[in-house]
Amino acid sequence: MFFLRGSRKADTEPETESLTVPETVAEETQETVPETEAPETDTQEEAGGGPHAWEIFPQNGEVLTAVNARASAEGDSAVLSVLQEGQTVVITGTDGTHYMVETENGTGYVARKYVIPELYQAGNHPPFKAPSLDGIDPEKPMVALTFDDGPNAPSTNRVLAVLEKYGAHATFYLMGSNVYGENNDCVRKMVELGCELGNHTYNHNYFNLQPVSEIRPSVRKADYMIEETCGLMPATVRPPGGGIVDEAAQELNTLGLAAIFWSIDTLDWETKDPDNTYKVVMENVRDGDIILMHDVHQETADAAERIIPALLEKGYQLVTVSELAAARGAVLEPGKMYREFWK
């Protein structure tokens, strides 16, 4: 087992500005919860079935957050039941944007994003595809900026704005439980800008502190929230806190994901000091680095607004993790761990 020096302590709660999913209800009162937006997904072929291999009905599904099951796909239709986080339901079909599930009051319609089918959870990632290197010069220096624990719209949007201003790329390691509401637009903006999406688990559970059997659900729930939001699956995974054990690496191999760590830890989550974050990066950066920051903090956005133009001024290309690996001729292999791509 190893735990990366300078990362969060494994025996403490992660220092994130955690966002709470709003569809919380009092079960005893069956209070109606606010309806969430329907996720943007490919249109299914017909209700009751879909083009994905895991869309075989009926099958069980797990409710990811408290959500309404309505009498129809219309957002103002009657609420038949309020489904609770962790509840198992039977999915009988889909209309493309909703799942039809069995409730005590008949068939209910639930936004697809908030119920993960068991066949999806049991699946693995497709083989990794190296990205295009259009516009990237492999002979020139480059680094990969990475941002963990988001999205958090107020601060993440600031990071995205400065990336867009300078035509730079970054990799965002997303927590599945944060991919909802206005944060959905952040994820779609990342894709629009050519940034890379990474998996940071559903609830920031440490791989070296949880049973191996819980790694798959944690990873696949995050996959699902991200894919249902933007149509893309994360390219790689970052173990929360940098903690991992051999058994966890084997599970990531089965899932088809490479694990990405870092060569520069800014400790921005701890110091919350933009000047210190800027100093750590600019005084230590070298060609091929993977730099760790956390876009859930406004202080990190402050630092990013200075770091990005400063790195470009020094001649660094700002690329995604996968672009950096490909430019250095590395093939990201499932279950393997990568910290940098130095020449």
pLDDT value at residue 6: 34
Question: Around 73, how many Cα atoms within 13 Å sit in the side-chain half-sphere?
Answer: 12
What pLDDT score does 51 carry? 62
* Burial of 127 from C-beta contacts in 10 A (0-12 / 13-18 / 19+): exposed
Sign of CA dihedral 157, 162, 166, 171: negative
Question: Could you tell me if 301 and 155 are in contact, meaning their C-beta atoms sit under 8 angstroms apart?
Answer: yes
pLDDT tens readout for residues 21-53: 333 333 333 334 444 443 333 322 233 345 688
For residues 130, 176, 96 and 127, what is the CA-based torsion angle, rounded to 10 degrees? 20
Amino acid letter at 342? W
Which residues is 103 bridged to in the sheet? Answer: 106
Q: Is 275 a catalytic residue?
A: no
CATH superfamily of 32-123: SH3 Domains (2.30.30.40)
Domain ranges of the chain: 2-17+125-338, 32-123
pLDDT, tens only, 234-263:
999 999 999 999 999 999 999 999 999 999
- For residue 53, the model assigns a pLDDT of 84
Q: Which CATH number fits domain 2-17+125-338: 3.60.150.10, 1.10.10.10, 3.40.50.300, 3.20.20.370?
A: 3.20.20.370
Torsion angle defined by CA atoms of residues 67, 71, 75 and 78, in that order, rounded to the nearest 10 degrees: -90
Q: Stretch 55-59: mean pLDDT, rounded?
A: 95
Helix axes 153-166, 298-313, angle to 10 degrees: 10
Active-site choice (294, 295, 297, 302): 294
Q: What is the pLDDT, as a whole number, of residue 38? A: 38
First to last CA, the chain: 27
Q: What is the pTM of this model?
A: 0.87
213 vs 5: which has the higher pLDDT: 213
148 counts as catalytic: yes
| Active-site annotation holder among 95, 125, 148, 295 | 148
Sign of CA dihedral 326, 329, 335, 339: negative
- Helix (H/G/I), strand (E/B), else coil: 325: helix
Tell whether the model's pLDDT for residue 132 goes beyond 70: yes
